[in-house]
Amino acid sequence: MKFHIFSLVIVTLLVTVCADEEPEAARLLVAKQILNKYLVENMDIIVKYTVHNVGSAAALEVEITDNSFHPDNFAHVSGELNARIDRVPPNSNVSHTVVVRPRKSGYFNFTSAEVLYRRTEDAPRLQVAVSSAPGEGLIVSYRDYAKKFSSHVVDWAAFAVMTLPSLAIPFALWYSSKSKYEKLAKASKKH
């Protein structure tokens, strides 16, 4: 009886292990990130796509398509919005960068890109996946951005004015001692 239970446990374990063991195939995790600290109307936004292959085989014919930057809302500056990567080896990362410029200010929901790839060399169909979505961000108007920037110039000017006394006082002391010394020197010359 004991033996039977023991062998049953072994069989169950074997079945579990076999079920977990997938045939060698690629599995991609794709992150879409906005690298800017500030999003400003008419200024570059850098978008980075990182493809991480967590599978056990190379991913082939990887295609990243980002339809979220509509030409009405964004000017395309550089990088392909429809990028093709021939091969991503297992346990490696490949990244791709796109630069766009927003035409308008306001809230914008940055959504995911679509990803297609072949999980194995002989896979009959392409695997469909999506990247992560950066989410909603506020694109500030150029005018507001410029105002914020010029207020930093005002801060700098205030800082310069505040530091002026600390420079002016030593100079005044030096100047007065110098003129005292010169008076003394002149006086001693008379003798």
Ligand X SMILES: *[C@@H]1O[C@H](CO)[C@@H](O)[C@H](O)[C@H]1NC(C)=O
Interface with ligand X by CB under 6 A: which residues? Answer: 50, 52, 92-93, 109, 111, 136
- Look at the alpha carbons of 68, 71, 72, 78 in this order and tell me if their dihedral is positive or negative: positive
In the numeric block, which tokens belong to residue 151? 């207020």
C-beta of 138 vs 164, nearer to ligand X: 138
Give the other-Cβ count within 10 Å of 133's Cβ.
14
Q: What CA–CA distance (Å, rounded) separates 82 from 68?
A: 11
Q: What CA–CA distance (Å, rounded) separates 97 from 116?
A: 17
Report the nearest approach of ligand X to the CB of residue 116 (Å): 19
Report the nearest approach of ligand X to the CB of residue 88 (Å): 11
Report the nearest approach of ligand X to the CB of residue 73 (Å): 14
Mark 154-172 as b/e (b = at least 16 C-beta within 10 Å).
Answer: eeeeeeeeeeeeeeeeeee
Q: What CA–CA distance (Å, rounded) separates 108 from 32?
A: 15
Q: What CA–CA distance (Å, rounded) separates 20 from 31?
A: 26
C-beta of 36 vs 111, nearer to ligand X: 111
Report the nearest approach of ligand X to the CB of residue 109 (Å): 4
C-beta of 54 vs 77, nearer to ligand X: 54
C-beta of 40 vs 94, nearer to ligand X: 94
C-beta of 42 vs 50, nearer to ligand X: 50
Report the nearest approach of ligand X to the CB of residue 76 (Å): 21
Q: What is the DSSP letter of 156?
A: H
C-beta of 78 vs 93, nearer to ligand X: 93
Report the nearest approach of ligand X to the CB of residue 87 (Å): 15
Sheet holding 114-118, edge to edge: 82-88, 59-65, 114-118, 127-130
